[in-house]
Amino acid sequence: MTHFTIRRLAFAFALALSVPSVLHPAVAAEVTRVYPALDESGSKRTLKIYSSLDADIAEPLLQAFREARPGIAIDYWELQTQEIYARVLEETDRGEETADIAFSSAMDLQVKLANDGYAQPLELASAGAMPSWSKWRDTVFGVTFEPAVIIYNKTAFDGRQPPRTRADLAEYLKANEAELYGRVGTYDVERAGLGLFFLARDSEHNRKIWSLFNALGAAGVKLYSNSSAIVERVADGRFALGYNILGSYAAGWARNAPDLGIVLPEDYTVVMTRTGLVPRNAASPDLGAAFLDFLLSIGGQRLIAAQTGLPALHPAVEGENTASHMHGTYGARLRPVPVGPALVVYLDQVKRQRLLDRWNDALRVQ
C-alpha cells in the first residue's frame, strides 16, 4: 500500500509579478503528497513536482515511475497554474532551489517562464517522436492532446440535433432565447485562465466569433471560474449547454453521466496540451528530466490514455483516448495550439484588457 501524507493549507499571494496581478489568486489551496522510496537501502533522493493535475489522477503515473526508479521518493505538490508560475519565478529570483519539474495546463504561463529564462534546455530521448508544434526550444514539452468542446444535455435536445458549429450555436441561442435564458454556461474569462486562453484562440480563428458572444449574452449566459460547475449543471439538466469546456474533463464526467453529450465543433476545434518543463533552479534537474521523459515515452503515454482519462499526444500510441484516434476521426477541424512565444501575447496587460473589454461589451446585451 502507498503511504503518503497530505497537507492542506491556504496562503495569500500579494507579490508583484511580471504578468498582470489579476492572473494570480489572492488565496490558493495546496495539496502535497509525499511518496517514500520503494527501496530505501541506497542513497536517498527526492523528485519534487509542481503540478496542476489532480493528485488522484496523477497517482498511476507516480506509481509507475516509482516502480521504475525504486530508490526515488516523490514530493507531489498539487497547485493552481498561476501558483506554479509564481513559485518557480519567486524561488528562482531569491536564489533558492525550486521544483524539479513544473507540469501545468497553462501553456502560456509555462512558455513565459521559458521565454524569460526560468527553464533549462533538455535532451529527452522520447521528445523526438512528438509533434513539432508541441515543444519549444527544448525547454517546454507538450504531453497531452485536449480539445475544447461544446457540451449539452441530451434530454434538453430530445429529438433535435445539438449545434455542431459556432454559427449553428449562435443561431440556436437566438432562436430559443426564452427557453435557454440562464441555462447556458461558459468560463468567466476574467477569473479563469483557461477561459481567457480559449477566448484568445477563438478571436484568432474566427472573425465572426463576437456574434456568438452577443448571443450568449442575450441568452443570460452564466459564468464560472472552473469546469466542474458548468459540467455538473449540464449533466443534471439545470443547463442545456456549455461552451468552450475542456473535453478531457467533460469526457470524465460523461462516463458516469449518460445525459451529458459532447460535440467537437465542426468549424474548428481548439486543442491544448499540458506542458512540462524543468526549472533553471531545480534541485535535481536530472530527476525532473527523467520524469518528463517518462511522460513523453510510449509507455508513459499509454498509461496516460488508459488510466488518467487524459488523451495521449504521442502519434504512435493508438486507442480511443489518443491524438492519433482524434486525428483519424476529426481530421483538419482539430487546431492544436503551438507551444511557443505567440502564447504570451495576451499576458501583456494592455492586450489582455482590450480582449476583456471586447468580451464584456459582447455580453453586455443581456
Q: Strand, coil or helix: what is 49?
A: strand
Q: 98-130 in b/e burial notation, b at 16+ Cβ within 10 A?
A: bbbbbbbbbbbbbbbbbbeebbbebebebbeeb
**Torsion over CA: 226, 232, 238, 242 (sign):** positive
User: Rounded to whole angstroms, how far apart are CA atoms 267 and 171?
Assistant: 14
Mean pLDDT value of segment 57-61? 95
pTM: 0.87
Could you read off the pLDDT of 332-349 as tens digits, one per residue?
A: 999 999 999 999 998 889
The answer, yes or no, to whether residue 315 has pLDDT greater than 50, is: yes
Closest listed residue to residue 49, CA positions, set 82, 26, 13, 73: 73
Name the β-bridge partners of 102: 50, 277
d(CA 53, CA 46): 19
| Residues 68, 294: Cα–Cα separation, whole Å | 10
DSSP, collapsed to helix, strand or coil, labels residue 218 as helix
Residues 6 or more apart from 101 whose CB is under 8 A from it? 47, 48, 49, 50, 51, 276, 277, 278, 279, 282, 287, 288, 289, 291, 292
Q: Residue 41: what pLDDT?
A: 81
What does the pLDDT read at residue 181?
96
Cell numbers placing 38? 520503494
Cell of 202: 477563438
Q: Shortest CA distance to 168 belongs to which of 218, 133, 211?
A: 211
pLDDT at 18: 33
* pLDDT recorded at residue 29: 53
CB 100 within 8 A of CB 280: no
C-beta separation of 155 from 253 below 8 A = no
> Minimum mean pLDDT among 41-45, 164-168, 230-234: which range?
41-45
Handedness of CA 22, 120, 316, 50 (dihedral sign): negative
pLDDT digits (tens, 9 = 90+) for 139-181: 999 999 999 999 999 999 988 899 999 999 999 999 999 999 9
pLDDT of residue 316: 96
**What pLDDT was estimated at residue 249?**
87
The CA distance from 110 to 123, in Å, is 18
Instruction: Name the least confident of 13-22, 175-184, 205-214, 265-274.
Output: 13-22
Cell of 127: 521528445
CA distance 89 to 87: 5
Tell the burial category of 146 from Cβ atoms under 10 Å away from its Cβ (0-12, 13-18, 19+). Answer: buried
Average pLDDT rounded to a whole number, residues 272-288: 98
